[in-house]
Amino acid sequence: MADNKELKEKAKQIADDIVEAADQTRAAVEDVVEGVQEAREQLHDKVADKLDDATEHFAKAGKRSEKSVKAAEEEAERQARKEAGDTTPQDGAVANVEKGPAPKTRPLAERKGKNYKKVAAKVDKTKVYSLADGIKLATETATTKFDSTVEIHVRLGVDPKQADQNIRTTVVLPNGTGKTIRVAALVGEDMEADAKKAGADYAGEGEIMPMLEKENLDFDVLIATPQYMPKLGRFARLLGPRGLMPNPKAGTVSANPAEAIKEAKAGKVEYRVDKQGNVHLGIGKVSFGVDKLVENANVFVNSLKAAKPTTLKGNYILSAAVSTTMGPGVKVNID
């Protein structure tokens, strides 16, 4: 029993010591917090005093500056004009002038010429014609005094940003395009005679390179052998934007330039999809007659269908139309 009593007294003593130590610790923490607050208040007062002194200094300096005096005078003058109701423009400013009514723009159909309206009435906008009928109607609605080009326009369901759907190929139109194609052949001395014989207007490095250096592009097609392509690199900015840079896909880079020249002269044309997914190609002149134009169109359509990407999902050919230069469009079915 005595031992239990001693243990209880010792435990009570220890508890009292712990409570006393906790009270002392809390008091010490409160003193530290109070000291920190005091120091913060003193620092805040010092910073505020310094800021007030700096503000007063710069304010006084501003009042003494020429710019401040000028601004004050202008403001006083502006307020005086405002009170007097003076709204005249100052210092060359342009007075506000009320704008008249917006000009009325006539619809595009009303701005067409009389001849165009007359032939356009023959085209049924709600009807999709067969390819032969569409070409025949297009030739009948040609309005120009010169020999118009017959064009075919096709809207494709491809994404030109995808490399495998960026269609670019060539086709040889059996009846040509009706244009005189000027061909330049960048070949070695041993091939110059053959190139000239095949129909090249310009042939050989000695004749073509000076033309490129002078930016004289007096040709429609440039054909080159593979060994001359590195030399054309420095003219890429000149030839590229004009579509004259030789390309293997277009058949203008060839180890057999004579054959490439004959194809170009015979009516070989390149077509490619534009950024909007459309393909445009001239298939001949109105003077060709319907039969030759239809033959050229069929060759082009077959080539276009053969170029369909294997990865394409959905419809390939969305719509097509034929027209002549400055003539109305005729919707056609080429599926």
pLDDT at 283: 92
At the fourth CATH level, the homologous superfamily of domain 182-266 is Ribosomal protein L1/L10, domain II (3.40.50.790)
Domain spans of the chain, in order of start? 2-83, 113-178+267-335, 182-266
Taking the C-alpha atoms of residue 285 and residue 67, their distance in angstroms, rounded to an integer, is 75
Burial (0-12, 13-18, 19+ Cβ within 10 Å), 138: buried
113-178+267-335 CATH: 3.30.190.20
- Among 229, 317, 231, 238, which residue's Cα sits nearest to residue 278? 317
Q: Which residues of 171-188 are buried (b: 16+ CB within 10 A; e: fewer)?
A: bbbebbbbeebbbbbbbe
pLDDT at 37: 77
Residue 15 carries which side chain, given as an amino acid letter?
A
Beta-bridge partner residues of 224? 186, 253
**CA–CA separation, 119 and 142 (whole Å):** 8
Q: What is the pLDDT along the chain (335 residues), one digit of tens a residue?
A: 456 777 777 777 787 778 777 777 877 777 777 777 776 777 666 656 665 665 555 555 555 577 777 887 788 777 777 777 666 666 666 656 667 788 888 877 677 888 888 888 889 889 999 999 999 999 999 888 899 999 999 999 999 888 888 888 888 898 888 888 899 999 988 898 899 998 899 998 888 999 999 988 888 899 999 998 998 888 989 998 888 899 888 888 988 988 889 888 887 888 899 999 999 999 999 999 999 999 999 999 999 999 999 888 889 999 999 999 988 999 999 87
* Selection from 186, 152, 193 nearest residue 304 by Cα: 152
Contact 323, 153 (CB under 8 A): yes
Indicate the SS3 state at residue 308. coil
- Answer yes or no: pTM beyond 0.75: no
| Distance set, CA 306 to CA 119, 264, 270, 281, 301 (Å) | 35, 21, 15, 16, 9
